[in-house]
A and B are shown apart, each in its own frame.
Chain A
Amino acid sequence: MKILVTVKRVTDPDVKVKVKSDGTGVVTDGIDYKVNPFDEIAVEEALRIKEKAGGEVVVASIGPAEATKEIRSALAMGAERGILVTTDQPLDPGVVARVLAKLVEEEKPDLILMGKQAVDGDNNQTGQMLAELLGVGQACFASKVELADDGGKATVTREVDGGFDVVEVDLPAVITADLRLNEPRYASLPGIMKAKKKPIKEVTLDSLGVDTNRKVVWHTFSEPPVRQAGIMVPDVPTLVAKLRDEAKVI
């Protein structure tokens, strides 16, 4: 089983970003970059499938040359090799999906695993778009993935409103990971050492011959509406009185 799994380099999800004063973006100075948490879950799932069924896990990323760091951290977890499509230009999910479709065409994986969304753009689009471009099935927001013994299909439990949707999808397919799919492992020290020697192929975005025209262009950034700080109340009776008489919500 050959699995292609994607990792995006994102700002540390636990740091609250601020909007630049000129509105051209968010301030990233001094913020660490990490693997998008949902992608880390996708990597973990790929490794678990490989450990059971055998095969290879290939990690792909698109971004600046620095994104080799995020690929290395997936290699340190146990993936075999990486592909980095380098670019400094802004992309949209459609461009990313077309680039990934090109990689799939070259690599011919049996399964594509991705995070359901990246925690910077919060788009939640790329996996679904990739599935359509490839003409394959999609199983998004997965909380459980079971592969058939012959590797021809997967039964996937999806987290949806009001419960769980269980679907059976033919492989190759695109599966996107939700939070509860697994608990990603920490890279071991030997894993980190080994990862340094694992190959990462770098190709430039322009060399792929993919349409890189965006259909979504980001303009001005602004601060979200700010809430006025409220008051502290000394005890429960005061709180209940305020809710009843002032806020009139109970």
Chain B
Amino acid sequence: MGNALIIAEYKDGKLKKGSRAAFAFAREYTQKNGGAFHVLVIGHNVTDVAEQCRRFGAEKVWQADAEGLGPYLAESWAQVVAQVAGDSQAELVGATATALAKDLLPRVAAKLDAGMASDIMGIDDNGYFLRPVWAGNAVVAAEITSPVKVVTVRGTEFEPAPEGEPGGELAPVTVNVDLGALKKRFVRFEEVKSERPELTEAAIIISGGRGTKGEEGFKLVEQLADLLGAAVGATRAAVDAGWVPNDLQVGQTGKVVAPDLYVAVGISGAIQHLAGMKGSKTIVAINKDEEAPIFSVADYGLVADLFKAVPEMVEEIKKAKA
């Protein structure tokens, strides 16, 4: 039986919590299918990250550390992943479905002549990968017939692997990538700074849609979010209108989230948006249109003008907290 190799992601020298969903999946996969769970860390000066990765039950943590691997490029990283997939005798290569993984892993699959399943939610009894299609309105059982299987793992479907004592062997990778031959160069990263928690890691999300009518309305959403220590989300309409940055988009093509509490403010509930949030534990919808489809997925619906209801909510919660 082959092993499962998971690519870890990190930011500012810290392993991203999201990667632990793919770790959990790989542990489950190898427990069922045999083989061992391995982790791969790619970058420059990533010894700290590799050390952190030893705490999640991996048999081996591969560290591909070279100056030219510093800023992520699909072209260089795919070569490293393909190389280590061979070295680690991986039958499964995967990562949590982030923007980076979505960019990188199809290229890896093509390199390994492997089939790939995106955004998987689990495995059925036949060993087929369950994944959402048509904006999550159907789930298909996808069989990968190639010897190596590539997957991205939907972060909201797996409890993050628990952190334990460090274990597992650290294995340095001799990197054989000719960076001069790459046909792409990293220019810069324009960070969108925010004091709020990340969407995919927040316990509470307050999201705004077209009904907020603009930045003024979104201020109310943000006010409520800050009171609850929540992340701010948005619909495509709100992002397209330029009221909020694009990485706040929740939906089929944005982020898929499943917080404990999701409050949809002035959101009608287009299928593309529902695809990204209907796995949330508790959903609240505030909309003045009682016919809005968002109410069909809401645990608590309130038909009201958000410009009155949200400030009132802020006051009520302040009172309740006092």
Restricting to B33-77, which residues have a CB under 8 Å from any CB of A? Answer: 72-75
The stretch of B86-94, B129-137, B172-180 in contact with A is B129-137
The interface residues of chain B lying within 8 Å CB-to-CB of A4 are none
Give A167 to B119 CA distance when docked, in angstroms: 25
Is residue B163 within 8 Å, beta carbon to beta carbon, of the partner chain? no
Contact A140 B133 (CB under 8 A): no
The dominant DSSP class at the B interface is mixed
* Number of chain B residues whose Cβ lies closer than 8 Å to a Cβ of chain A: 90
Report the minimal beta-carbon distance from B280 to chain A, rounded to whole angstroms. Answer: 9
Report the minimal beta-carbon distance from B230 to chain A, rounded to whole angstroms. Answer: 10
Contact B239 A180 (CB under 8 A): yes
Give A140 to B102 CA distance when docked, in angstroms: 9
A230 with B141: in contact, given A11-B134, A138-B103 (CB under 8 Å)? no
Contact B300 A243 (CB under 8 A): yes
Report the minimal beta-carbon distance from B291 to chain A, rounded to whole angstroms. Answer: 12
Determine which of A26, A128, A140 lies in contact with B134 in the assembled complex, contact meaning CB atoms within 8 Å. Answer: A26
Most buried by A among B78, B253, B284, B297: B253
Interface size class of A (residues with CB under 8 A): 35 or more
Report the minimal beta-carbon distance from A31 to chain B, rounded to whole angstroms. Answer: 11
A216 with B183: in contact, given A119-B135, A159-B246 (CB under 8 Å)? no
The interface residues of chain A lying within 8 Å CB-to-CB of B313 are 236, 239-240
Is residue A195 within 8 Å, beta carbon to beta carbon, of the partner chain? no
Name the CB-closest residue of A to B297: A227
Name the CB-closest residue of B to A92: B115
Determine which of B11, B128, B246 lies in contact with A143 in the assembled complex, contact meaning CB atoms within 8 Å. Answer: B246
The interface residues of chain A lying within 8 Å CB-to-CB of B283 are 227, 230
Contact A236 B106 (CB under 8 A): no
Restricting to B92-145, which residues have a CB under 8 Å from any CB of A? Answer: 98-100, 102-107, 109-111, 113-119, 126, 128, 132-145
A224 with B132: in contact, given A128-B103, A138-B74 (CB under 8 Å)? yes
Determine which of A163, A235, A242 lies in contact with B190 in the assembled complex, contact meaning CB atoms within 8 Å. Answer: A163
Determine which of A161, A224, A244, A247 lies in contact with B139 in the assembled complex, contact meaning CB atoms within 8 Å. Answer: A224
Most buried by A among B184, B284, B302, B312: B184
The stretch of A59-67, A129-137, A186-194 in contact with B is A129-137
Contact B183 A219 (CB under 8 A): no
Give A132 to B78 CA distance when docked, in angstroms: 9
Is residue B171 within 8 Å, beta carbon to beta carbon, of the partner chain? no
Q: A129-B107, A138-B103, A179-B240 are in contact. List 12 more A-B contacts (CB 8 A).
A: A13-B272, A19-B137, A26-B133, A117-B253, A120-B133, A124-B106, A128-B104, A218-B143, A219-B140, A237-B316, A249-B261, A249-B281
Question: Could you write out 21 A-B pairs with CB less than 8 Å apart?
Answer: A93-B106, A120-B134, A121-B133, A122-B119, A129-B109, A137-B182, A141-B103, A143-B246, A159-B247, A160-B247, A164-B192, A168-B185, A170-B184, A178-B253, A221-B138, A231-B299, A232-B301, A239-B300, A239-B302, A239-B313, A243-B282
